[in-house]
Amino acid sequence: MAIAHNLGLPRIGADRELKKALESYWKGESSKDALLQVGKELRQRHWKAQNDNGSQWVTVGDFAWYDHILEWSCTIGVVPHRYTQEIPQPFDLDLLFAMARGRQNEQESVPACEMTKWYDTNYHYIVPELKKDQTFKLSRTFLFDQVKEAQGQGYQVKVVLPGPVTYLALSKGEDFGAGTEFNGKLDFLPNLLAVYKEVLSKLKELNVEWVQLDEAFALLDINDTWQQAFKDVYAELKGVGPKILVATYFESPEPNQDLLKALPVDGLHIDLTRGETDLVKFVSDWDLTKVLSLGVIDGRNIWRADLDKITKEVSTIAQNFGDNLWLAPSCSLLHVPYDVEPETKLHEEVKQSLAFTIQKLQELNVLAHAVNNDLSAQDKEFLERQNKALETRRTSAHINNQAVKDRVKKAESIELHRPAFADRVAAQHDNLNLPLYPTTTIGSFPQTKEIRQLRSAWKKGNVSDADYENGMKKEIELVIREQENLGLDVLVHGEPERNDMVEYFGELLNGFAFTQNGWVQSYGSRCVKPPIIFGDVSRSAPMTVEWAKFAQSLSDKPVKGMLTGPVTMLQWSFVRDDQPRSETCRQLALVLRDEILDLEAAGIKVIQIDEPAIREGLPLRREKWDEYLKWAVDAFLLSTSGVRDETQIHTHMCYSEFNDIIKAIADMDADVITIETSRSNMELLQAFEDFKYPNEIGPGVYDIHSPNVPDLDWMVNLIRQAAKHIDKKQLWVNPDCGLKTRGWPETKASLDIMVKAAKQLRQEA
Ligand code: GLN
Ligand code: ZN
């Protein structure tokens, strides 16, 4: 009998209850008891949902007040000394929050632990910080308390924890960064394993039958030393506690299958939704005394699954496995929203093709029954509805637009390359007449409360179109005047009409949908509500031209047209899974191509296409990088290659390190790139030593994430450093990113100094 289970549920709550409870507690508006109570209710609700939908166990250990890695760090005593010399007993939740958010009061100011992206998702975890002489010590009972709590409610429990090797790989220390390049980290293993053993034996005492250890690192490009570490660790943990299921996800198991199969564990979970795994081949030498858990429901995306197809595939191998075949979502459901049902504003054809957490649990339940030839009448109805929804999705005119598909096909003949940069740069300089070291900003200016209020009142229909337009125009005029007063060279309109750089365009495009409550945790109490790209993407009318024209009419200086690039729109949305991502990206690129040409025709001489998320799309395994970068870069070229030589194309990137993809960035062939530099300690400058950047570039000279006004000499020096590797004629002067989260006073002060820095550099030249 195939068994249904899951790897973990989102914890934030259907209505973001946890977010609200946390923020109210942090503000001192509610008690710790009230917070604890909300956590308890959420766990209870989530366990019930699993149980009601046929999961064999409920998961314990996936709940977290802020982040599950941080929970585990606290459990095993990985708490840096700057927060406490000794971990209080009983453990104090405020210590966990101090690590997550820092501690600021009259006596002290302790910075938070570092936070970073969880593999290739938009979830962020708190990086464990190891001291040189790190010890590991069981410091908290929360995990065991939750086990008892679930058992008290009558449930069978499967405990979910970070695997020891992955935990080490994710951690950073005084002498090494995160990742697996540094083998010395493994010296911590013996001590770390001691605490794992202690936890495992306690779980056994509590009659927990299975523990799931998450080891996604086993799928990455890891060297022999780390491969050996995996084998040693599991040899040592064998038999100590409950049976062990090692869970891997976010990649196909195929490349590392020898390692995975050699692990001395009771079960293995693999992700069948990523890459192409030949299941029959994979199980051909499977040891049938071990459990194999198949991740068949996509835990990273929100589309209903083709259950008939999965049933067929699984059935081909099911007979031999008996109870040792488990079915699950590909990964924890942390990365999808909670429930589709309450959504009232989605087009019916879109809504019925979506599966959030609850729907995925239902799918899994029916799937297990189907594989076991045990479908109830209710299951059959479910399957019928599901198949009808799939069919609608294939045929619906709301989703499919033949004209778009034809156009994408025809676009194959579009020339992606503009004339050589050297040939077009003169035309641009004639057209723009800019000084050496031109100054500009990234696009947004401070979004004041009044601006936000006007926008949301208009959206709700409480403000007339005319009043909204006037309000926005007044703001644009103010932003233009301020920039002129500051003496900036290339101006922006300030983006007051945009709440979010993807949502703004998504709302104007066909093929995008927005939920009311489709929240996904990004970090701690912060959630995002990604747009859904459900269908062929097209544009009914120009999206930015009127604003840009108006802004340009106010000044003799060039004002940049401002757009969000195709890859970033893809990366920050839930993307349809019925065609390759690259295809959807091309549709977006063509829409942008039209918009860019419209802007150019309206007299806009400089157009910026932001691609901050381009690096986030990189596959986890390096061997797949080239393929991704090829279509990502091509999409950018497809949007931009139609313009005249004298039209200057800008792009902007931030939030990540770009050194290892600098060549691909150069291939995008933007005339100018403004790029985050100052926060990453100018590591970017290192890249310029090894690679001669061909076009113009503005390394961000100050960090906009802090209200501090930057230092003039520091900015001048940064550009001087850059000028050692890049011809000064290629250099621009600009901040790291947009200014929308800043206030006006520090914005003006900072830009004033930035302009002074550029003037000083010009004088030196
Ligand atoms: N143009 C956008 C802004 O200035 C860019 C934002 C970003 O890079 N994330 O806000
Ligand atoms: Zn940015």
Model confidence pLDDT, tens digit, residues 526-576: 999 999 999 999 999 999 999 999 999 999 999 999 999 999 999 999 999
Identify the pLDDT of residue 680. Answer: 60
Active-site residue flag, 124: no
Q: Which distant-in-sequence residues (6+ apart) come within 8 Å of 225 by Cβ?
A: 183, 186
Quote the ligand 1 centre to 653 CA distance (angstroms): 9
515-536 average pLDDT score: 96
397-418 average pLDDT score: 97
Nearest to 442 by CA among 502, 475, 483: 483
Choice from 652, 658, 741 to test ligand 1 binding pocket (greatest atom count within 8 A of CB): 652
* Residue of 124, 269, 347, 705 marked catalytic: 705
Question: Which residues, judged by CB distance below 6 Å to any ligand atom, belong to the binding site of ligand 1?
Answer: 442-444, 495, 501, 562, 610, 612, 652, 654, 737-738, 740
Model confidence pLDDT, tens digit, residues 241-260: 999 999 999 999 999 999 99
Residue 333 in 3-state DSSP? helix
Model confidence pLDDT, tens digit, residues 686-716: 888 889 999 999 999 998 888 889 999 999 9
Ligand lying closest to the C-alpha of residue 610: 1
The residue whose two tokens read 């901040």 is 735
How many helices and strands in the chain, by DSSP H and E? 27, 24
Model confidence pLDDT, tens digit, residues 431-483: 999 999 999 999 999 999 999 999 999 999 999 999 999 999 999 999 999 99
CA distance 715 to 732: 12
Model confidence pLDDT, tens digit, residues 410-425: 999 999 999 999 999 9
Structure tokens belonging to residue 478: 């103010």
Identify the pLDDT of residue 104. Answer: 85
41-68 average pLDDT score: 98
What does the H/E/C string look like for 643-666? Answer: CCCCCEEEEEECCCCCHHHHHHHH
Strand (E) or helix (H) holding 638: helix 625-640
CA distance 754 to 114: 29
Strand (E) or helix (H) holding 126: strand 124-126
For 95-99, 333-337, 720-724, 758-762, which range has the lowest pLDDT when averaged over its residues?
720-724
Q: What is the CA radius of gyration of the chain?
A: 27
Quote the ligand 1 centre to 4 CA distance (angstroms): 43
Nearest to 117 by CA among 707, 618, 631: 618
**Cβ contact 696:671 at 8 Å:** yes
The alpha helices in 319-446, defined as continuous H runs, are: 348-351, 357-371, 377-395, 402-410, 421-432
CA distance 455 to 471: 9
For 102-111, 199-208, 544-553, which range has the lowest pLDDT when averaged over its residues?
102-111
pLDDT for 595 beyond 90: yes
**Cβ contact 12:339 at 8 Å:** no
93-101 average pLDDT score: 97
Model confidence at 679, in pLDDT bands (50, 70, 90)?
low
Count of all residues that appear for the chain in the document: 765
pLDDT for 753 beyond 70: yes
What value does the mean pLDDT of the chain take?
A: 96
Residue of the nearest CA to atom 5 in ligand 1? 738
Model confidence at 681, in pLDDT bands (50, 70, 90)?
low
Quote the ligand 2 centre to 677 CA distance (angstroms): 11
DSSP for residue 603? T
